[in-house]
Amino acid sequence: MASKAVTVTLGNMAESAQAHITLGRFSTMSEVVREGLRALERQEAMLDALYKAKLEEALADTRPPVPLAEGLARVRARIAQSHEE
């Protein structure tokens, strides 16, 4: 795969990225940015798996549906109760 030069403005994160280089964890700023992108991809994959599992769980739930107004009333009651504690 061909490399393409990209300019990135890190703002206040530049100091943190440079610290990783100074500490020897990475050799270049490009390595830091690539690792950040890999971490983002891992996080997105985990979230996708979580969403899929939650969706499958919800679709497999055999309990009868709760009308929206009733569900909202339950949530509001729990919120009110938590503020009382």
For the chain, the domains span 12-61
pLDDT at residue 60, rounded to an integer: 96
Q: What is the 3-state secondary structure (H, E, C) of the chain?
A: CCCCCCCCCCHHHHHHHHHHHHCCCCCCHHHHHHHHHHHHHHHHHHHHHHHHHHHHHHHHCCCCCCCHHHHHHHHHHHHHHHHHC
- Per-residue pLDDT tens for 19-67? 999 999 999 999 999 999 999 999 999 999 999 999 999 999 999 999 9
pLDDT at residue 80, rounded to an integer: 95
> Binning pLDDT at 50, 70 and 90, where does residue 14 land?
very high
pTM above 0.75, yes or no: no
Write the Ramachandran bin of 24: left for phi over 0, alpha for psi from -120 to 50, otherwise beta. left
Residue 2 in this model has a pLDDT that exceeds 80: no
pLDDT at residue 1, rounded to an integer: 67
